[in-house]
Each structure stands twice: as structure tokens, then as C-alpha cells.
Chain A
Amino acid sequence: MMNQISEFEKKFIERLDKLKGLYNEVNNVIILHEYITGEFYLPPIVNFRTFSDLMFFCFKKKDTQKLDIDFQNMEATLNEAGHGTLDSLLSKIIDEIDLITDRFEHEVLERITDNYSEVKLLIKKAKKYVELFINDKKKILNKSFIDSFNEFKEIPKFYDQLINKGHLLNSYQKERDTDKRFSLLNSNIHNLIIGAVSTILTFILINSFAEDILNHLINKNPVDTSPVELNFPIDTNSADTSDFVLLFDSKKDINTLKSRDTVLRLR
């Protein structure tokens, strides 16, 4: 029976306990992958087997000096499982998200998630992550999986919302289109009314104030009182002056000729 724990065993349990968090997150991403894609994704499961091999092999060796290296390898295996699954999940989701979101307006999508703008930025980042995973896998594997998973956690959530509330999106978009049409119609009617009213007002204004305006304009210009030289032949003695006066019959014209002298002189 074991009564005492060796240094190796103590360290082994400690290190395994530290890996617990990483393992849980990897397991979560695998479950998420299965839930969202509906597929059983094999690579991380193979990684888990490798992890088990490493763990039991380390336990079998009972080599305290190599414990750190063994656990580093175990951590790297879990990290690889996590990153691989996250990459697969994101690459599958992003394409579908793009397909769906392209059909709807930003405001419509915001009705599903309040932070759509943030998610949009995250999707851009995730695209870079997926690209980097293909081109430079080592660079990704050196990163902490937990950090990457926490960074992109919102994307699967958003995708899930898109799928679950997808039927609402169409009606939201229709509502928005109808609203737009109505507002356009409203603004057209509004413009039409304004136009009509302004036309009527202008007409009334011109009619009622035209006389005054004209008067005002004319009064502003001083009347020329200098004697008029008449070039047409008028014989003031013989000619019938009543014809001549008729020229000034109109009140307006007489008003304009304020100077009495002029009239007299003409006479």
C-alpha cells in the first residue's frame, strides 16, 4: 500500500491540476464544434489519445527531471487540439455568416445582436487567424489557445443566434423595406405639399402686394421735374387740349406727375 507520496507523484498531480483549465477549454471548443456543425471532428480526439499516451508514459517513467518537458509536450498537444478545432469551427462558421449577413442590412442584424459592429470586427480578425493557421501554423500553435478561444468566443454565439433567429431576419428586413418605402412616400408628399403651399402663397403675395411694391419702387426714384421739350407740333391755341389731357387720364399717371407746373406748362 502506498502511504507516502514521492516528489515525482506530488509534482505530477500538481502539473496535471494546472492543465485542467486548458483541458476544459479544449473540451468546450470540441463540444461547441459538434453542436454547431453537427459533425464529429476527429483530429482533437486523436490529440487526446496522444495526450493520454504522454500522460501515462510520463507516469510510467517517474522521472522528475523530465517531468517539465513531458508536461510541456502534453500542454502543446492540448493546445494543438484546441487551435485545430477552433480553426475548423471558425472557417466553417465565417463562410456561412458571410452568406447570411450579405443578405441583410447592418440595422437588421443589430436587432439580433446589440454588438454587431464588434462581432463584425471580430470576424475580420478571425479571418486573419484562419489564414495564418493555413500559412503559418507554428505561429498560431505558439499562442495560448485559451486567449484565442476567449477572443473569438462571440462568433459562435452570433452564428448560433443567426441560425436560431434566422427566420426573424427576413421579416425584420421586410419591415425595414416597408418603412423605407413609407418614409420615402411621406417625404415626397411632404415636399409636394410644401411646393403647393409655397406656390399659392407666392401667388397671393404677388397679387396683393404687387401694387404697393411697384409704388414703393417708383417712389424711390425721384420724378424728373425739368421742363419737357415737346417735339411734336402742338398749337396750344388751336388744338383741342382735351385730347392732350386724355393722355394723363389715368390716375396713376397723374399721380406720378406730381408737379403741377409741368401740367400747366403743357397746357
Chain B
Amino acid sequence: MVSGDNLVFLKSFEKIFKKYEIVRNALILPGKISEYNKVHLAPLNEFRNALFHIFKSLENNKNIEYEHNAALVHYTRAQYDAFEIFINENVLYINTAFNDYDCETVNDIFCKYYDEILPKINELKYSLTVERTQRRKDTEKATELIFDKFEMVADFVSEIDEHKKLLPEETKKRKRKKSVFFLKGSLLALLTGIAVGLIGAICYVLFNK
């Protein structure tokens, strides 16, 4: 490579490097937030494509900038894919997060779940499909848009996780309350029965005299 071309290469490689750091974090971040920490193919494939363009730029000095821009687009797509996968997986997680618990209990301790989170998540599902078509036209813009949604979902997930911790204790409390209530009722019925029986016996004795 000619030294002048080295300069061109380094200049755009610096850009790619900055983008890569952001994208790499985007890939790691979902794993930190949610328990859904799997290796996903789509962003990795974009990494592969980006690397292909970086090496291609070393082959032809005239196309350095063109190839590096292509690599940038692939990294942006990787970022988009990482966010999209995170959202899709967590939409499912949010929807089924409280399936094991009583609706009333959930509503009592975390009413936001039914009032705000679930309606927003349903809206999000529809808007995601629209943004996916947008991605092809302007990847950068689509990634910015999806990042807002990613943040929103990430907030929801952390809120749900916090409240989920409270739920077993709350359920136990409710069960205890219910059993105390049942016991009290039974005792009251028993006492009432005894009392009625006693009064009846007394009345019988008195009237028979």
C-alpha cells in the first residue's frame, strides 16, 4: 500500500473503530440487562460482512473509502439487529413475566404493568415491523429509532425484574391472610353454632318446666 493510501485507510479505519466500540457494547448490553444472553446469528453475520469489506479495502487502494463505508453500514446493521433481537425476545418475556402469579396480586403491587407496560409493548410490536422496512432505506436513522425502543424495553425489563422479586413474598402474605380469614370464619361459625345450641337448650329447659 502506498503511504498516501495508508493515510486514507487510517482515517476511515478510525471511524470504523469508533463505530465498532459502540456496536460491541450494543451486543454486550442486552446480556447485561436481561437473562436472555444468547449468541445471535444476525449481528455476527454483519460482523463477518464488515470484516470482509475491511480486508477488501486492502486489496484495492482506490476503493478504500467505499469499502470502509460498506463496513460501517454492516456494523450499524449489526447494532440494529442486536437491539431488535433484544426487543423481540423481551417483548415475549414481558408478556409472560407474571403468568405464574395472580392478576390481583400483580395489579396490587405493580399496577403499571397492566396500565402502561402491556399496552405499550403491544404498540411496539406493530411499530417494529414498520421500522424494519425503514432499515433498508436508512440504517443509521432506523438504528437511532430502535435505540429509543431498546431503552424503553430495557427499563421495563428492569422494573419487572424488581417487582418480580417482591411477588413470591406478596403471594405468601396473601395466602396467609386468606387462611387466617378462613380460620376466623370457621371459628366464628363454630362459636355461633355452639351459642345457638346453648340458647336452644336453655330455652327448651325453661319452656318445658
Chain A interfacial positions (CB closer than 8 Å to B): 2-3, 5, 9-10, 13, 16-17, 19-20, 23-24, 27, 40, 42, 45-46, 48-49, 51-53, 56, 59-60
Taking the closest CB of chain B, its distance from the CB of A70, in whole angstroms, is 14
Binding site for A on B (CB under 8 A): 1, 3, 6-7, 9-11, 13-14, 17, 20-21, 24, 39, 41, 44-45, 47-48, 50-52, 55, 58-59
A20 touches B55 (CB 8 A): yes
Contact call B21/A20, Cβ cutoff below 8 A:
no
- Report which of A2, A13, A52 forms a contact with B51, defined as CB distance below 8 A: A52
Query: Can you give 21 A-B contacts (C-beta < 8 A)?
Result: A2-B10, A2-B11, A3-B7, A9-B6, A10-B6, A13-B6, A13-B58, A16-B58, A17-B1, A17-B58, A20-B59, A40-B45, A42-B39, A46-B39, A48-B47, A48-B51, A49-B44, A49-B48, A52-B20, A56-B21, A56-B24
Are B55 and A23 in contact, CB atoms less than 8 angstroms apart? yes
In the A-B complex, the 9 residue pairs with the closest CB atoms? A45-B44, A48-B48, A23-B55, A49-B47, A56-B20, A17-B58, A20-B58, A45-B48, A5-B6
Q: When the two chains form their complex, are residues A60 and B17 in contact, meaning their CB atoms are under 8 A apart?
A: yes
Most buried by A among B10, B21, B24, B45: B10
Across-interface contacts of A23 in B (CB, < 8 A): 51, 55
Q: Taking CB as reference atom, which chain A residue is nearest B5?
A: A13
- Is the contact region of chain B dominated by helix, strand, or loop, or is it mixed? helix
Task: Give chain A residues whose Cβ lies under 8 Å from the Cβ of B24.
Answer: 53, 56
Q: Give chain A nearest CB distance to B70 CB in angstroms.
A: 15
Q: How far is the CA of A2 from the CA of B12 in the complex (A)?
A: 11
In the bound complex, CA of A80 to CA of B127 (Å): 42
Contact B10 A5 (CB under 8 A): yes
A46→B14 CA distance, assembly (Å): 23
Residues of chain B within 8 A (CB-CB) of A48 are 44, 47-48, 51
Which chain B residues border A17 with CB–CB below 8 Å?
1, 58
Contacts of A46 in B (CB 8 A): 39, 44
**Cα distance A133–B106 in the bound complex, in angstroms:** 54
Give Cα A57 to B6, complex, Å. Answer: 19
Which of A20, A52, A53, A56 has the most chain B CB within a 10 Å cutoff? Answer: A52
Distance from B130 Cβ to chain A, minimum over Cβ atoms (Å)? 28
A20 to B57, CA, bound (A): 10
Query: Is A45's CB under 8 angstroms from B7's CB?
Result: no
CB distance from A214 to the nearest CB of B (A): 98
Choose among A5, A19, A49, A51 the residue that contacts B7 (Cβ–Cβ < 8 A). Answer: A5
Residue numbers in A under 8 Å from B45 (CB-CB):
40, 45
CB distance from B74 to the nearest CB of A (A): 11
| Alpha-carbon distance A24/B59, docked complex (angstroms) | 11
Q: Which of B1, B10, B11, B41 contacts A40 (CB 8 A)?
A: B41
Q: Measured between C-beta atoms, what is the minimum distance from A49 to chain B in Å?
A: 5
- Given contacts A20-B55, A42-B39, A59-B17, whether A52 and B47 have CB atoms under 8 Å apart is yes
Chain A residue with minimal CB distance to B52? A27
For A16, list chain B residues within 8 Å (CB): 58
- Chain A contacts for B51, CB-based, 8 A: 23, 48, 51-52
Closest to A22 in B: B55
